[in-house]
Chain A
Amino acid sequence: MTFMRPLALLTVLVLLFTLTACADEQPASDVPLPEEPPVPADTFAVVDAWAGVASEGGTTAGYFTIENGLARADTLQGVTANGMDRIEMHETYEREDGLRGMRPVEELVAPPGERVRFAPGGLHLMLINMERALAVGDSVEVTLSFAEHGAYPLTLPVRDR
């Protein structure tokens, strides 16, 4: 019996290894982001703005990062723009059933000392039914509305994704 136990253990380990070797490949996990510098103190800015390409009549997304280096929070309450049927704030999220969903965001708090990112696969502006196509080199003008800072004009250069 004492001789059999190590062999039995070896058998189990080898079988487990074999099963692992033929298992389906899983999607790689996210590559860790490099450590980013702190939000510049005593400033409030919206940076890294861009929009995706779009066909005429199509829908695309806009992205940016809010950097709130102030001592108190601000709240993004809405966005307006010309050249499209309408513009809304949305969020892509993973539903409990595993589907990728999209839902409207009415307002968003930018906490003091933090960044809030609108980025692919997450928060985004939804530019609906564009009056003209958007290609690389074009840009879109939007106005963000903050509770504290009021109207914040922003240019979104169009990028290829």
Chain B
Amino acid sequence: MRLLSVLAMACAVVLAGCGESYDSLSEETYPLTNYDSTAVTFPAAYEGEVLLVGYVYTQCPDICSVITANMRNIHDALEGDTEGVRFVTITFDPARDTPAQLARYAETFGLQDRRWDLLTGDADTIDALMQRMGVRRALAGEDAASFDGTFPEDEDYIIDHTDRMTLIDGQGRIRDYYMGSRMPAEMVAEDINHLRRERS
């Protein structure tokens, strides 16, 4: 009996430990700009909402488009019920992705009227935010460790990058990471609904 008690306690400790230690962004402030040129303080502007965040650059024709399309599929999987949920795309190429460029991207992919923001910012803020969110970048074929957030001025460059989405709860806590281009939409929608149920 004593061994069974020890076993039960060990399991309880393990389960408690793996369920409560969320990485929180709530004390952090990143001043960004939305595609309609309004100022957005990330993540405070979304307090109380479940956030699904994707990271792209708009000159990327292939994998970033797949990430955005996958996020749109997740949005569709919510079947029109997006109350308390916000979709956020953050560029990691602020030199080229101005608010006007992000507006064109939103129109091209049909992201308007979907509770979906597309954010850019100054290079230092974007660099700090990408590091914080674990999104690594490098000029094509170059070492990510040596990348300092500065891009060439000729505006003709390719960025290698992490393929990622982040799920953040209404308290600004990071609840999950996904592979942005490949995570099945229904599974992420289920996680979003789980977090919404947690709020109520």
Contacts and interface: CB of A to CB of B under 8 A. Distances in A.
Q: Interface residues of B toward A: which range?
A: 35 or more
Nearest to A27: B179
Q: For the complex, would chain B's binding face be called helix, strand, loop or mixed by DSSP majority?
A: mixed
A19 interface: yes
B63 A22 contact: no
Interface stretch (A39-47, A54-62, A67-75, A106-114): A54-62
Given A28-B183, A97-B144, A102 B14 contact: no
A61 B108 CA distance: 14
A52 interface: yes
Interface stretch (B26-34, B40-48, B122-130, B158-166): B158-166
Nearest to B8: A14
Contacts of A133: 108
A90 to B, nearest CB: 7
B19 A102 contact: no
B181 A53 contact: no
Query: Which residue of A25, A57, A58, A102 has the most chain B CB atoms within 10 A of its CB atom?
Result: A102
A91 to B, nearest CB: 9
A100 B159 CA distance: 9
A18 B63 contact: no
Given A58-B105, A58-B108, A18 B176 contact: no
B11 A99 contact: no
A144 interface: no
Contacts, number: 118
B138 A61 contact: no
Given A121-B66, A161-B68, 8 more contacts: A18-B11, A52-B65, A58-B104, A58-B105, A60-B65, A95-B160, A102-B62, A161-B69
Interface of A: 7, 10-11, 14-15, 18-19, 21-25, 27-28, 30, 52-61, 90, 92, 95, 97-103, 120-121, 124, 126-127, 133, 160-161
A102 B69 contact: no
27 contacts: A11-B3, A11-B7, A11-B10, A22-B14, A25-B187, A28-B187, A54-B108, A57-B104, A58-B58, A59-B59, A60-B61, A90-B61, A92-B63, A97-B136, A98-B136, A99-B161, A99-B162, A100-B162, A100-B163, A101-B160, A102-B63, A103-B141, A120-B62, A121-B182, A126-B61, A133-B108, A161-B65
A100 B187 CA distance: 22
B63 A24 contact: no
Contacts of B107: 55
A124 B136 contact: no
Interface of B: 3, 6-7, 10-11, 14-15, 18-19, 58-63, 65-66, 68-69, 104-105, 107-110, 136-138, 140-141, 144, 158, 160-163, 176-179, 181-184, 187, 191
Contacts of B182: 27-28, 30, 121
A76 B84 CA distance: 50
Contact of A56 (B104, B158, B183, B187): B104
B21 to A, nearest CB: 11
The 10 closest A-B CB pairs, nearest first, are A22-B18, A101-B160, A161-B69, A55-B104, A61-B61, A27-B179, A55-B108, A99-B160, A100-B163, A59-B61
